[in-house]
Structure 1
Amino acid sequence: MYYNAVDVLTAAGITLEDIKPQYQSFEDSKEALKDGKIQAAFIVAGAPTTAITELATTNGVYLVNIDGDLRDAIIKEHSYYSALQIPADTYPGQTEPVETLTVKATVIVDADLDENTVYNMTAAIFDHADEIAAENAKGNELTLDNATSGMTVPFHKGAARYYKEHGMNVDTQE
């Protein structure tokens, strides 16, 4: 979350010297907001997030839009972000959609890891995507298209082999 916060703040012309940052866990940030010990927090998690739902129910929260030129500048500078809209009524009291950024959760492996191991890891994820979706609200976003679109780093040969078997070509920089 730290680097996501720095990316957004820097693009908005805000330095760490302009604010009083506190480096704490997700849970501690939620509790500090709830108790009025901090005024803002960067929450990097898929919507709907239980912590934000709880805060919106008990304290009321305001989700800050990251949109327009600011969002475009962040995406241009850092290709690992993409635009996202949190639909209206995702959280209590949130009657309008919220424009924001999303960043992918990514599995990173050593380039020297055995090709079959990485292939099997990739297969374990995507061959069981329906089971993951049944357990996690964001699991329905676990698709081959989402996994490969917008990626600017090369894929491991083992992952590339799995994707190729499923009709997708990805860059391995070989």
Structure 2
Amino acid sequence: MTITTRLGTWAACAALAVLTGLPAAAQVVGIVTDQPGSLGYNAGQAVAKIANQEGGILARAQPLAGTRAYMPLINNGEFDFGFGNAVEVAYAYEGSHSFDDLPNPDLRLVGVMFPLRTGLMVTADSGIVTIEDVRDRSSEIRVASDYTASTIIADIISGGLANGDMTYDDLINVPVSNFVKGMEALGEGLVDLTLISLNSAGGKEVNAKLQNRGGIRYVSLDMSEEGQEKLRTYLPTASVIRLEANPDIPGLGEAANIIEFPWVMVASSHTSDEVVYDMVKTLAEHQDALAASFGPFRNMSVPTMAPVSSVPYHPGALRYYEEAGIAVDG
């Protein structure tokens, strides 16, 4: 999407705000998300919906192609809010790893939305069940790579491979542009291994497309302390967790160990304190409505929304946390 198109969208929203008599502080709150089909897109749509319905905030979610593309736009104040996992947000703020030489010092943390659960995915008929199976067949496995629009996805896959004593160099790399394209590549038979978030819309589409192959399956990772440490060489805030079999969730036809880390909301230092305060208050006090709109919000923990972070918290968020008695950096 071009800047002109994006500004046209916000202008239309601003006109609507004037016509509906909404206060200036509530006018045209821009929430940038990842592409349709991704967890980030669905989370952003849910937040915008509840902000409008419950908080009187005129919020509009706008999808763009990946965090590397949109974190600088939040940093510059072109959007008020956005999302990312805690690892990539720290990278974006510092200008390190997947954001090397692209620091975003005006990013501010709003809070944790829910734990993000994701993992390495294969087809159910691949014969691959564990990360050891991947290692045994690594030279013949095609893996989605590069993720030029969202390089953190490649970091997450690297963490999963490291859990099994591998790197990308051990597999056949198939470059893709973004998270959604990486998922689609599995469904189209272009790769054998990719990353798919738990119960995501994109994952459901791939699972449906692959029903003639039994659907999709999560690769079960090594849960030992040594395996956890290998994962954290790429993803410092991540853990390997055990999920029991659930036939209603694509990829979990059998129990598997997958990756979990915090999924967070960020703002800009340019986003007004009042807008951030109103947003945090609305989300914290309407978790049930958020969960009804998008299932992962069922796992939102309001008392632990403000953990230790290398990214500074936005003053508007701190104001709400103080009022609500929520510990910051706890």
What TM-score results when the alignment is normalised by the length of structure 1? 0.76
How many residues in Structure 1 have an aligned counterpart in Structure 2? 171
The equivalent of 1:14 in structure 2 is 166
Name the counterpart of 1:38.
Answer: 191
Does 1:79 find its partner at 2:236? yes
Q: Give the secondary-structure state (helix, strand or coil) at the position aligned to 2:282.
A: helix
Select 1:125's aligned residue among 251, 268, 283.
Answer: 283
Q: Which runs of 5+ in 2 are unaligned?
A: 1-152
Sort the Cα spacing of 1:24 and 1:151 in 2 relative to 1 into closer, same or farther, 3 A. same
Shift of 1:140: 0.7
Amino acid in the other structure paired with 2:160: V
Letter in 2 for 1:127: E
C-alpha contact (below 8 Å) 1:71/1:101 kept by paired residues: no
Percent of counterpart pairs with the same letter?
Answer: 21
Listed one character per residue, the Cα deviations across residues 48-87 of structure 1 (whole Å, up to 9, x for unaligned) are 6424542664423331112222224324763321343332
1:169 aligns with 2:315: no
Alpha-carbon spacing, 1:144–1:56, altered in 2? closer, same or farther (3 Å): farther
Q: Which structure has the greater CA radius of gyration?
A: 2
Q: CA deviation at 1:119?
A: 1.2
1 or 2 for the larger relative contact order (CA 8 Å, sep ≥6)? 2
* Match status 1:28 vs 2:181: yes
Shift of 1:142: 2.1
Which residue matches 2:208? 54
Q: Which SS does the other structure have where 1:109 is aligned?
A: strand
- Alignment of 1:137 onto 2:289: no
Partner of 2:113: none
**Cα distance in 2 between the residues matched to 1:168 and 1:92:** 35
Structure 1 position 133, deviation (Å): 0.8
Farther-moved stretch of structure 1 (160-169 vs 146-155) = 146-155
1:151 positional shift = 4.6
Residue 34 and residue 114 in structure 1: after superposition, are their counterparts in 2 closer, same or farther (change >3 A)?
closer
The structure whose residues are more often strand, as a share, is 2
Partner Cα separation in structure 1 for residue 251 and residue 313 of structure 2: 41
Looking at structure 2, the residues matched to 62 and 93 of structure 1 have their Cα atoms a distance apart, in angstroms, of 4
Q: Alpha carbons of 1:81 and 1:92: their partners in 2 closer, same or farther (altered >3 Å)?
A: closer
